[in-house]
Amino acid sequence: MEKNQSFDLEGRVALVTGASRGIGYHLALELAKRGAHIIAVARTVGGLEELDDQIRKAGSSATLVPLDLHDMAAIDRLGNEINERWHKLDVLVANAGVLGSISPVAHVEAKTFEDVFEINVISQWRLIRAVEPLLRKSDCARAILFSSGVVHKPRAFWGAYAASKAAFEVLGRCWADELKNTSVKVNIASPGATRTAMRAQAMPGEDPNTLPSAEEIAAKIVQLASPDLEETGQFFDARKNRFLTYHVPD
């Protein structure tokens, strides 16, 4: 993979979900610094407005979309609105997700389990369905889907979150294979333990200063948006700053 991060996204349109804070916020800024117009999606209006200020300071522009991913019809409308205004989409960053509860599998409340899958899987499929026609209209579209290390190294008490991310990761790999003969490159990003609000929720006793910042991790993951990227259907470990090989059984 090309390690030069100074690639140009001038004239390109990037959709980032979960853009009001954490890795999504900083990825939106990284893309904006390269010239992309950012369609920033999140529930928190204040966070979106702060992001907009920073994007303007970086010399780029943004369209703010306050949207709750529970609203599936709104996701469909977003796809239609992007088509009407820009007629294409160059970069998709499917970053938004929820942790649920860290507890034994048998103790997770049904409502919590269902919500984790609704946001981490179903809304992501709905988003993919809404934007695939737009990505196909780009000459070098890039999709960055977020997974987690617990998919490959399952841990006690992380069952609901890990299972939802495993489902989304496999969905993304299937999608990448479907698009392998197009200009759309789809890759899976695993940020690893990062200094974010979600990590603090999961590990309240952990010293956040021992973890890399969301800004540091975003600066690595942004490589997956490069027009020069050749890989697709791969797993990118941000902590190691490289793609890892999937082990496929015989």
Catalytic site residues?
161
Count of CB atoms within 10 A of residue 47's CB? 20
126: helix, strand or coil? helix
| CA–CA gap between residue 17 and residue 64 (Å, rounded) | 11
Q: How far is CA 23 from CA 16, 107, 111, 132, 246, in A?
A: 10, 30, 27, 23, 24
CA-closest candidate to residue 41, choices 100, 96, 118, 117: 96
Angle made by CA atoms 133, 144, 235, in degrees to the nearest 5: 125
Assess contact for 236 and 242: CB atoms under 8 A: yes
Assess contact for 246 and 193: CB atoms under 8 A: no
